[in-house]
Structure 1
Amino acid sequence: MAIPVKAARLCRLAGRTGTSLSVTHRPRRCYLSTSTGNNLQFRLDELTAHSSLDLFKKNTAVIYRMLGLDPTHVPSNPERFRDWAVVFGDEKISGGRHYWEVTVKKSQEFRLGVAEVLMSREDCVGTNSSSWVFGYAQRKWFAMTSNKIVPVALVGKPERIGILLDYEAGLLELMDVEKHAIIYSIRAQFKTTLCPAFGLWDGELLTHSGLEEPEGLK
């Protein structure tokens, strides 16, 4: 389904600053076995990818295509996001601590985080209570869930960013991969199976999974 440009921007910028998003400084059948340990290994799930997204590098990277010009050839199916440029990772998460990184240098508008596997394919990540993301748009970082946005005081945009999920502790953290430091944390209560989630409206993202958690964070 082609998304009007104005509608896409409304999705990207939707929300209001709200204190109910607890932040502190510092579906598709995901078909691999449910992960409860570390070293999460995943690829992007083509069956979930919106028609404006194409996967490459053996489904570890995603590129945004101009709507109406070069849509993906993945046929429509119940797992696919129909209205928003979102794609899920193919690994289920029901517990444990997990760390992965994303090269973001070739995109100016994106969202990175996690979502419930059974999240509605009519929604955009960050706009409901089933997804938790960090985003970048208009040269600014933010944390987002339930359509509420909290600015993240991160100057500039690094080439690569880290995501750390602690399921039992209810933490999703944005990481500085060079300093091995936590930039921002979202606190939540995860009650069901999650998977990595990505939104993209410009350029491309490259995922890096199967990584060891940086030392000194526990």
Structure 2
Amino acid sequence: MAAPSTATRLCLLAGRTVSRLSATHRRAVTLAAGRSFLSTSSRNYLQFRLDERTAHSSLDLFKKNTGVIYRLLGVDPSHVPNNPERFRDWAVVFGEGQISSGRHYWEVTVKKSQEFRLGVAEVLMPRDDCVGTNGSSWVFGYAQRKWFAMTKNKTVPVTLVGKPDRVGILLDFDAGVVALVDTDKPRIIYTIKVQFKDPVCPAFGLWDGELLTHSGLEEPEGLK
């Protein structure tokens, strides 16, 4: 299925804990040998595209793989290449960025979606899970006109955000920080503290409309 059941989604949005998927149902992920993940501009700003190999069959990529749109029916899963990197149960796609150090910043246009998650996840996160439901992904979500921070299937309400057209994500791998950024101020709205152990990449979940990513950006001044 491309999205959580109604009951599960209501529990998640209420900030309650929902049982994690059993480890027996997880599949190991093996990355293709020799693939290049991290791209930087001349000023060393992180640049990435969305990785089609990871995209669930209900997600279409566009604008040279910097945008993603949700299709209610999507493509028959049997009609897309079968590889261990693809999400089969959840409408998730990863960015082509393997990050293991440093401080990085990107933005996402969210004005055409009413239900999404965005943040980071371990590159080798199990493809049977959804971002935010395990201890290897850290995301900010929006649904039912409310924002929340989510990891390990636990949600925390994020207030004083509203519904901006565009938001930022700040990742400081060495300091263990994933932050949601108000791009208008700019200011950090909410911070998730993490003890990273493995390389991570940009991560996105989408169940309505579309998202457009903007990378290769300089971090706004004043973010701490």
Q: 1:39: Cα distance to partner?
A: 1.1
Amino acid at match of 1:55: L
Q: In the alignment, what sits opposite 2:217?
A: 211
Distance (Å, rounded) in 1 between the aligned partners of 2:112 and 2:76: 19
Displacement of 1:17 in angstroms is 3.4
Alpha-carbon distance between aligned partners in 1 of 2:16 and 2:170, rounded to the nearest angstrom: 23
Would you say 1:32 and 2:36 are equivalent positions? yes
1:10 to partner: Cα distance: 5.2
- Name the count of aligned residue pairs: 207
Residue 13 to residue 75, structure 1, CA distance change in 2 (3 Å): farther
**Which residue in the other structure is 1:132 paired with?**
138
Name the CA distance, whole Å, in 2 between partners of 1:126 and 1:108: 17
How has the CA–CA distance of structure 1 residues 12 and 87 changed in structure 2, closer, same or farther, with 3 Å as cutoff? Answer: farther
TM-score by length of 2: 0.84
Runs of 4+ in 1 over 3 A off after TM superposition: 7-19, 27-31, 33-38, 70-74
CA distance in 2, matches of 1:53, 1:42: 18
Q: Determine whether 1:117 maps to 2:123.
A: yes
1:78-97 correspondence runs (5 A): 78-97=84-103
Equivalent residues of 1:8, 1:84 under 8 A apart: no
Unmatched 5+ stretches in structure 2: 18-28
- Identify unmatched segments of 5+ residues in structure 1: 20-26
Aligned with 1:59 (options 55, 65, 73): 65
Q: How many Å separate the matches in 2 of 1:135 and 1:79?
A: 23
Aligned residue number for residue 76 of structure 1: 82
Please give the secondary structure, in 2, of the residue aligned with 1:17. coil
2:193 to 180, 187, 193: 187
Q: Residue 165 in 1 paired to residue 171 in 2?
A: yes
Letter matched to residue 200 of structure 1: L
Identify if the C-alpha distance between structure 1 residues 28 and 159 changes in structure 2 by more than 3 Å, giving closer, same or farther: farther
Counterpart AA for 1:212: E
TM-score by length of 1: 0.87
Q: In 1, distance between residues paired with 2:151 and 2:203?
A: 13
In structure 2, relative to structure 1, the CA distance for the partners of 1:109 and 1:154 (3 Å cut) is: same
Give the deviation of 1:8 after TM superposition. 4.5
**CA-CA distance at 1:216 after TM superposition:** 1.8
The Cα shift of 1:29 comes to: 3.6
Is the Cα–Cα contact under 8 Å of residues 29 and 90 in structure 1 kept in the other structure?
A: no
- State the shift of 1:156 in Å: 1.9
